[in-house]
Amino acid sequence: MALFKRKLIISVDFGTTYSAISWLDTTQPAESELIVEWPGHPTEVSKVPSELRYASNPREYLPKWGYEIQTKLPRLQWIKLGLDPAGNKQLLHDLALKPRDQRRMDFPAMLLQKAPPPII
């Protein structure tokens, strides 16, 4: 008789603008679960903004992410593009030239000029 090992399978869709997470218990494979409750959001939604906010002085406040970031605060966005800056150089250049929202930190320009600042 073969032993069945229980596994928890976690799927992370890390997107350029939004991300999503789902999970599955192999003992109940027909019942996958999508995370729909996110910190900072009052209702259920299937995805969360792929954005970070942190202070240069970590004593000022704890890092924030996704819906926890207040609307008018600067944040890092398009983080996924930084995973392969050489392959995304033209796109990063275009995004740096055409900021769609001045509240956003200029992460694409930062990637073109130097390594991103440490988050932790």
Q: What is the 3-state secondary structure (H, E, C) of the chain?
A: CCCCCCCEEEEEEECCCEEEEEEEECCCCCCCEECCCCCCCCCCCCCEECCEECCCCCCCCCCEEHHHCCCCCCEECCHHHHHCCCCCHHHHHHHHHCCCCCCECCHHHHHHHCCCCCCC
Average pLDDT over residues 65-92: 79
pLDDT of residue 57 exceeding 80:
no
Provide the residue range defining the domain that includes 43.
Answer: 8-113
3 occurs within a structural domain: no
Res 107: pLDDT? 54
Q: How confident is the model at residue 108 (pLDDT cuts 50, 70, 90)?
A: low
Number of domains present in the structure of the chain = 1
Q: What is the pTM (predicted TM-score) of this model?
A: 0.66
Res 36: pLDDT? 96
59 occurs within a structural domain: yes
118 occurs within a structural domain: no
Q: How confident is the model at residue 120 (pLDDT cuts 50, 70, 90)?
A: very low
